[in-house]
Amino acid sequence: MADRLTAIAIRIAALTGWRRATLATAMGGLAAFALPPFYVLPLLIPAFVVLIWLIDGATRTRQAYWTGFWFGLGHFVIGLYWIANAMLVDAARFWWMIPFSLLGLPAVISLIYIGTVAALSWRFGRRGSSRVLLFCGLWTVAELARGVLFTGFPWNMIGYSWNEVGPIRQAAAWVGVYGVSLLTVLAAAAPAILASGERRMPIKLITLYVALAIIGLFGWLRLADDHDDMVPGVTLRLVQPNIVQSLKWDQRAAAANFENLLELSGEPSKTPLTAILWPESATSYYLEREPAALEAIHDHVNGAMLITGSLRATRSDADGHVDYWNGMIALDKAGQVVGTYDKFHLVPFGEYVPFSHVLPIGKLTPGLADFSRGPGPRTLTVPGLPPFGPLICFEVIFPGAVVDRANPPKWLLTLTNDGWYGYSTGPFQHFVQAGWRAIEEGVPLVRVANTGISGVVDPYGKVIAELRLEERGYIDVPLPQALAAATIYAQFGDGPVWFFALVLIAIGIWVRNSGEFSN
């Protein structure tokens, strides 16, 4: 068996030119099918094993770099193709951006991160355990860096492939999704050493997979503590109006869109409602400045509070400058504003144009002015509800950056609109990633979408209620209790993951320099 694998590895490693690039691209695409919403987890093993063998066969750093680039391109084109759908909402203006969104973003990610990981793995590693350990540590560092550099884009981390495996997913409460990614890449790439001729190969692999099983056991024990406790006296109504994106900002449809929201909000409830929740930018106007709309809301919410996404504008008294915000407002039972929040992690080209003084293009969302950034994560306290952490759209995908650490919330509320992306993998990925923040922080998460997937996730990641993609309707649900104690991840963040990743890199280099294994 080992001899056959060695022969296969040698043939793969010897590939050059278009054959090497094609195989690397195919393996990257294959790995994407392990992620939401497909979850074909075993595909990660051939994908990463073949990538390791291709890196082994590189004759110089440049060749290893481009091997990693092609792997990344295949991976991110399959995983992120849905972004191009946003350009089709106003195709007459943005059709020319489709190639850039379909290929440009995956290419940039691959050039900066995946190519670099492959090049450094080849340059400082050696075939076998050295390269696998080094590659895993570097991949994890690249994921961590991707989450923060250039405004950050921590989408489709490899760890999300465990979303359907509850016990393993619980490891996010200790090391976050980045830590789960580290474990996943290590487990997927480790079989590559079977073709290296190393001593004690079976023992190494068995030890690794036993460790993974032990993590799963601890996760299973953690799930045993999930008692479905709910906050007494709190019932939330999640409203998903399912407004087609082409009509979302059409002023001719504004009245009908608003009536849609009011109709769903005014439906009778079996239990008194504490709060009604509307999605991101639920109205196409500045709701705080519309007394008639506020009065209509008051007449339809049946004594409940309303929390909604809304455009906001504030004028500076000093110079008269107007700031525009993608915001959230909370209205009490009397229709008075009792809390506001402004999005701080804005979407490049969607809510602002980077280098707008140079680039002659407009943002995708309506309006000429860029949105301003809010001050950052905060906790809102409003009557009748436990303190909550507000988030808008893709702010929720940033691990460790969703709560105010000085004033931690008891639950997270994220308002979004995935109507830009149609019926694609994007909204499913978005919902899954939001749910992992609940596990990491040990608090429930409530997600309300214009269309997308609206739902409630408990602190263990269990979805207790949801509205499907492109479904119009509402659900009345209780609010799960937060965990009594903060999770390890909430206390220490990604610091331990950085440490483990750097340790793997150091061990990989040490193994190479020890001369124990031949290359």
Residues involved in catalysis:
280, 343, 393
- Cα-Cα-Cα-Cα torsion 108, 110, 115, 121, nearest 10 degrees, comes to 130
Annotate 361-403 with DSSP letters as a single string. Answer: ---SSSSSSPPPP------B--TTS--EEEEEGGGGGSTT-SS
- Residue 360's alpha-carbon distances to 90, 103, 357, in angstroms, are 17, 21, 8
| Alpha carbons 20 and 7: distance in angstroms, whole number | 17
- DSSP annotation of 309: E
The torsion region of residue 273 among left (phi > 0), alpha (psi -120 to 50) and beta comes to beta
Strand order from edge to edge, sheet including 388-392: 388-392, 411-416, 445-449, 454-457, 463-467
Q: Map tokens 């004690």 to a residue.
A: 200
| Alpha carbons 400 and 405: distance in angstroms, whole number | 10
Residue 415 C-beta-side C-alpha neighbours within 13 Å = 28
Which of 4, 501, 201, 43 minimizes the C-alpha distance to 51? 43
Evaluated on CA atoms 236, 239, 240, 245, the torsion sign reads negative
Q: Which residues pair with 324 in a beta bridge?
A: 313
Instruction: Give every CB contact of residue 60 below 8 A, 6+ residues apart in sequence.
Output: none
Q: Map tokens 């050295």 to a residue.
A: 130
Q: For residues 1 and 46, is the Cβ–Cβ distance under 8 A?
A: no
| Alpha carbons 388 and 412: distance in angstroms, whole number | 5
- DSSP annotation of 331: E
Distance of CA 315 to the CA centre of its chain: 33
- Residue 446's alpha-carbon distances to 297, 311, 390, 457, in angstroms, are 21, 21, 10, 6
What 3-state DSSP class applies to 463? strand
